[in-house]
Structures are given as structure tokens and as C-alpha cells.
Amino acid sequence: MARKIFVNLPIKDMERSKAFFAALGFSFNPQFTNEQGACMVISEDIFAMLLVEPFFQTFTKKPVADARKSTEVLVCLSCDSRAEVDALVKKALAAGGTAPNAPQDHGFMYGHGFEDPDGHVWELVWMDPNAAPPQA
């Protein structure tokens, strides 16, 4: 399985952001798009999750950066299994990283993550594509 990357970006206005990126030729996966977030397809393995600021804030205890004044993202990498998620977090902790949040198990999706020594958040996620919630 190819590793995928999901770049999470805080946004102020969902419709404005979707219209802007659609004008650039990007599409959105409707299965993972609603009023709180939009899954923008960058390539077969690269996606940007456009998240309204209040929803984005639920993923971090740190203040949301104003991209006009500073730059910050939450980088999310896919893993082949729950065990790989846990193994990567363990390696990060051993190398000097920290785990700012507890693992999250949603049944069809399991995630955990770490902060690197510079404070950048790396989320790791395993998802069972056969058990993902159906499209609304």
C-alpha cells in the first residue's frame, strides 16, 4: 500500500475555499466533505483537508496559527495497520518526540500521533476502507 499524505489546513470560509480550489482544477471527495471540512484531492496519494477554524482547533491544544502571520499545518500520514501507527509513535518518542494526545480508535479508523522536536504535529492513521461510513 502506498503511503498517503493528508495536509490539514485551517480555513475561515468553507464555500470560499472550495470555490477557490475548484477554480484551480482540484476536486473534492464528497464522502469526506461537509460543512466542517472538505477533502481536496491533490493526487492519488496526496490530499488537503480544508477545515474550518473551530473544527481545526479540536485537533490541537495549541492556538491556530494565522497563516497570514505564521505558518503551521498538521501533517497526517497513512499507515498499513494499527501496529504501524503504534510503532511509529514509539519510535518518535524514543527519538525525543512527544505524544500530545491519546490514541483515538473509531473502529474503522485508528489514529495516534507525535510532535517532533520543533513542535510540528504528525498524525498517523490506519483506516479500514471496507468499513468506512457510507456516503450521505
What CA–CA distance (Å, rounded) separates 92 from 114?
A: 7
Residues 52-62 have a mean pLDDT of 94
Instruction: Specify the pLDDT at position 136.
Output: 57
Mean pLDDT of 102-129: 91
Among 14-18, 28-32, 73-77, the least confident range? 73-77
Least confident of 5-19, 49-63, 119-133: 119-133
pLDDT at position 4: 92
With a cut of 80, say whether residue 54 has pLDDT above it.
yes
* Domain spanning 69-135, CATH class: alpha beta
Q: How far is CA 67 from the centre of its chain?
A: 17
Strands (E), 22-67: 27-29, 37-41, 46-52
Residue 69 banded pLDDT, cuts 50, 70, 90: confident
1-61 and 69-135, same CATH topology: yes
Q: What single-letter DSSP state applies at residue 68? A: T
Mean per-residue pLDDT of the chain: 90
Please give the Cα distance from 86 to 111 (Å, whole number). Answer: 9
Tell me what pLDDT residue 135 has: 64
β-bridge pairing 109-115 and 104-105: antiparallel
The alpha carbon of residue 23 and the mean position of all alpha carbons in its chain are separated, in whole angstroms, by 23
Structural domain boundaries in the chain: 1-61, 69-135
Superfamily for the 1-61 domain = 2,3-Dihydroxybiphenyl 1,2-Dioxygenase, domain 1 (3.10.180.10)
Structural contact between residues 68 and 10, judged by C-beta atoms closer than 8 angstroms: no
Helix and strand numbers (H, E) in the chain are 3, 8
The residue among 29, 9, 28, 10 whose CA lies nearest residue 19 is: 28
